[in-house]
Amino acid sequence: MKHKKIPLKREDLVHEVTISQDGCKIVELERNEEYSLAYGELGVGEKSKEHKMAMQELYYFIQGKGKITINKKEKGIEKGDVIIIPKNAIQKLENIGKETLKFLLIVNPPYDPEKEQILE
């Protein structure tokens, strides 16, 4: 069994914040052979680029309001929502709220930038 404590504040994270290919600010928190776990943010009025990935994703939203588009179907999201995105689905995320949109993200198999395709 592996046990790891993840800091509750972004500024306490030891990993560097990166801007993903789709435009979200992402910090990878954990990775193994089966999945990767990341923390992400999207600023007020920001949106990700339309993209697809050869990996399944599970988003858990911890702050803010937004909308997510998956294969041309749009859905409002807010704190507490869980969204599962199938692999190879065309997707886009937008912050439509008045605060930073924050989320946890599980990617299975682990995130691989070579398997992400930006479509715009």
Q: Does the residue 109 lie in any domain?
A: yes
Which pTM does this prediction carry? 0.86
| Cα distance between residue 88 and residue 13, in whole Å | 30
Q: Does the residue 7 lie in any domain?
A: no
Q: Does the residue 51 lie in any domain?
A: yes
Number of folded domains that form the chain: 1
Q: Does the residue 62 lie in any domain?
A: yes
The letter for the amino acid at 17 is: V
| Cα distance between residue 22 and residue 116, in whole Å | 9
pLDDT band at 23 (very low <50, low <70, confident <90, very high): confident
Bridge partners (DSSP) listed for residue 83: 59
> Which domain range does residue 56 map to?
36-77+104-120
- pLDDT tens digits, one per residue of 34-74: 999 999 999 999 999 999 999 999 999 999 999 999 999 99
Alpha carbon 30 to chain centroid, angstroms:
14
Q: Does the residue 117 lie in any domain?
A: yes
**Higher pLDDT pick, 26 / 16:** 26
Position 1 scores a pLDDT of 61
pLDDT band at 102 (very low <50, low <70, confident <90, very high): very high
Position 30 scores a pLDDT of 87
